[in-house]
Amino acid sequence: MKAIIMAGGEGSRLRPLTCDLPKPMVPIMNKPVLEHTIGLLKSYGITDIGITLLYHPQIIKDYFGSGHSCGVNIYYFLEESPLGTAGGIKNAREFLDETFIVISGDSLTDLNIENALEYHRSKKSIATLILTKVDVPLEYGVVLTDEDGSIKGFVEKPSWGEIFSDMVNTGIYILEPEILSYIEVGKNTDFSRDVFPALLSSSKKIFGYVSNDYWCDIGDTRSYINSHYDILNKNLKIDIGEELDENIWVGPGTVIDKNARIIPPCVIGSNCKIGSGTVIGSYTVIGNNTIVKNDVSVVRSILWDNCYIEYGSELRGAILCNHVNLKNYVSVFENSVIGEGCKINERAIIKPNIRLWPEKIVEPLAIVDRNMIWGSRHNSKIFGENGISGIINVDISPEYATRLGAAYGSHLKTGSKVVVSSTNSNSARMFKHAFISGILSVGVEVFNMSSLLTPISRYAIGFLKADGGIHIKTDMDNPNVVRVDFMDSRGTSISRSSERKIENSFFREDFKRCSSQQISRLNNITDFSSYYVRNLIQNTNVNAIKQHNPKVCIFSRSEFVRSIVGPMLTNMGCQVISHQNCVDISLVTSVLVETDCEFGAIIDSNGENLTLISREGIIVKDDLFQAFISLIVFKRSPGTTFYVPITSSEVIERLALRYRCVVKRTKNCLQAVMDEILNRRNNSADFDQLVLNFDAIAGLVKIIEYMCVSGITLNQLLLEIPKIYIDRKSIYCPWELKGTVMRRIINDNKDKKAELIDGIKLYLEDGWVLIIPDADTPAFKIISEGSSAVTAKEHCVRFHNIVERIITNS
């Protein structure tokens, strides 16, 4: 059998370890991780090895050469541009004339290749994927298998709602040469995204071999450090060298002062010097030719080659790349990484979680609390389920906003135009101005809008033909919390892939700084709301509203909302009574009766959410509101397609049948519904769906217009909607057990009809239940529907208990 090692990885998440080094050359126990992979292959008699190269290829060629020094024959296959996991293999097609194994050059494993090969041959498979279980599968490819091991589906880098198993693809494959016919020459092709789904579509059987052997993807600094700990704990057996003492490995030529203290387990490379009074603590790995002077303390840290640590310095859980010099009394703390060639001067302190890119110099007595690239670094994830949110001046500061603006602008082309708006709160305005500074610094033109509501900001993006937009608002329930919505050129939320790009720029501080001549002027627009209102009036049947002259009561705690909605409805021919938001529904109902209003409308402070109240006291919100607006769309446009989240009531399908309409389900997020509508927006029904779902002001106008044109009341419409019985629960679940829960639920309910759009939706005899992992918290949401309130609650409680048992017994 032959082998192909994929060694073209750039390793951007490992920076600064990989600033000038290909990811497969990052040292593990003082040897490149690629060398450990070659050693594994050789131990199973695989000596003909191909290596695919892309990033810094000459470094790998210079180190391994022909491979004879490692006892193997190495053949190199260079990619001129990225070809993907499968495209790179196709590049080596002439070499692959027999069964071969594909393995990543930047992962660490002691896979029993013989057992995997025997499984592959017993299944007569064209492709066998090596699978393993992981606690949190978010950054991996989740694989779904049948009981016989055959693979039935893939989800690459899933959201929590798509984690249907904790079984992931290790990127190690045993393949037959026949598979090459499914890969195009010179085309960027991925095995999991392109090739394996094509095999499944062609009814080819491919299998998953579940390995209990050690496997670690060296994807970030934390996994890099943990892999060393695993080796020192003997969870993974690799060749470290000779033991000087029990669990202490020291290379030849190393001199350790008799007054130094060495605490196992630890590794010290060749030709090192350890000074008097120095303590080398447990779980420390020191590279070759490194000098550690007197009275130094090193604990749980990794030092590469040729480092020089001077008197009295201390390291705690840190990584030092090659040629780092720490002067006297320097302190470097947990999870900090010092890039190659850095010099840290006397008594400087490097705080935890700091990254210094190569060749940086830190002045004496400095306290480094920011990454040394261009600025500082914050949490490892900034986007939640719905944009970005945080407490103003705690989670989100002006500095944070400026860097976030630069990261967002770096994602756009130079010269792009964006709309930046906020509500009229002082905290939202402060964030907006700081954010604008960051965007301008990367050469993007900004339309600075005065106070706007979210739907008006969406409209402004299209009106001004902008390339995107940002709207900053305060949380409806907590004015100390600021929320930031990122929108694309269509006015919808940006995609998850765009969020990842912004996050990557933010964390790596990889900003496109522009020259002073490229900084655009700031376009200030003071009263855009009037354009929005004018457009809405022009596209509404005002004559029908004036003929009916409906009396409506508007409730909102936002004076800004009331100042827009009240005059606009009055100009359209409505009689409007305006009140501050009232949380007591009985008082709202009494106001409606006293003022003889036909119905009441509660609009939130951001103009996004609409709740209707009938004179009879019926509250139209959440599931009932979704059914209500679907009924209006069905009546106005028979035969149309209506999009709803997977969580919506099946009453909507029953309504759709009356009007020959189709209901399509999406993931449980507003972005998914909006994307579907905008992707096919070609008629009035699609426009109605858009405004009724996402614009409380325009949606209210459409509802009033429909009632006046049709001569129907709110109560008459509500009588057409069957009763809805939905119950909801939440249960705490550790992040690492979410995949296990999903896999068990699927396996234990194979006899039931299921949908896996987002989470697991199981159809029961009298209703359905949805089990969905929360994207932002360690919890599961359980939502159920039944023919009665009792039935819905029984479904919810039953599956709450099932999830609880799985978590307790795992």
Q: Let me know the angle formed at the C-alpha of 509 by 308 and 326, rounded to the nearest 5 degrees.
A: 10
Q: Assign 226 a pLDDT band (cuts: 50, 70, 90).
A: confident
CB 38 within 8 A of CB 49: yes
Closest-CA residue to 182 (of 145, 131, 127): 127
Nearest in space to 641 (alpha carbons), one of 688, 705, 590, 696: 688
Where is pLDDT greater, at 83 or 585? 83
Kindly state the DSSP code that residue 516 receives in the 8-state scheme: G
pLDDT at 377: 31
What is the rounded CA–CA span in Å between residue 174 and residue 349? 49
pLDDT in tens, 375-388: 333 334 677 766 78
Tokens of 348: 């400087």
Angle between helices 684-694 and 670-679 (to 10 degrees): 160
pLDDT score, position 386: 66
Instruction: Give pLDDT, residue 378.
Output: 30
* pLDDT score recorded for residue 337: 92
What are the pLDDT digits (tens) for 144-169?
Answer: 778 788 888 777 666 666 666 677 88
Q: What is the pLDDT of residue 161?
A: 67
All structural domains of the chain, each given as residue ranges with its CATH number in brackets, are 2-217 (3.90.550.10), 240-368 (2.160.10.10), 388-517 (3.40.120.10), 539-719 (no CATH), 726-809 (3.30.310.50)
The answer to whether residue 111 scores a pLDDT higher than 60 is: yes
pLDDT at residue 340 greater than cutoff 70:
yes
Segment 187-194 mean pLDDT:
82
Q: What is the mean pLDDT of the chain?
A: 86
DSSP element (H, E) containing 315: strand 314-316
Which is more confident, 579 or 637?
637
User: pLDDT at position 657, please?
Assistant: 93
Region 187-211: mean pLDDT is 84
Buried b / exposed e over 746-780, threshold 16 CB at 10 Å, is beebeeeeeebbbbbbbebeebbbbbbbbbeeebb
Phi, psi for 181 (deg, rounded to 5): -70, -15
Q: Minimum mean pLDDT among 215-224, 416-425, 646-655: which range?
A: 215-224
At 804, which helix (H) or strand (E)? helix 789-809
Lowest mean pLDDT, pick from 105-119, 577-591, 707-721: 577-591
pLDDT in tens, 12-37: 777 888 887 888 888 999 889 899 89
Which of 186-195, 235-244, 343-352 has the highest average model confidence (pLDDT)? 343-352
**pLDDT tens sequence across 673-700:** 888 888 776 666 777 888 888 899 999 9
pLDDT at 163: 65
Q: What is the mean pLDDT of residues 447-469?
A: 91
Q: Does residue 292 register a pLDDT over 90?
A: yes
| Mean pLDDT for the stretch of residues 551-573 | 90
Contact 696, 607 (CB under 8 A): yes
Task: Please give the span between the terminal C-alpha atoms of the chain, in angstroms, as a whole number.
Answer: 39
Task: Look at residue 788 in the predicted model and tell me its pLDDT.
Answer: 94
More confident residue, 119 or 386: 119
> How confident is residue 137, by pLDDT bands cut at 50, 70 and 90?
low
Tell me how far apart the alpha carbons of residues 540 and 26 are, in angstroms, rounded to a whole number. 64
Which region among 40-49, 149-158, 613-622 has the lowest average model confidence (pLDDT)? Answer: 149-158
Q: What's the rounded mean pLDDT across residues 508-518?
A: 76
How far from chain centre, in Å, is Cα 259? Answer: 50
Residue 625 has a pLDDT of: 94
Residue-wise pLDDT tens digits, 717-746: 999 999 999 999 999 888 778 888 998 999
Closest listed residue to residue 17, CA positions, set 269, 324, 358: 358
**What's the whole-number mean pLDDT along residues 426-431?**
88
Question: What's at 687, amino acid-wise?
Answer: F
Backbone angles phi, psi at 577, to 5 degrees: -115, 125
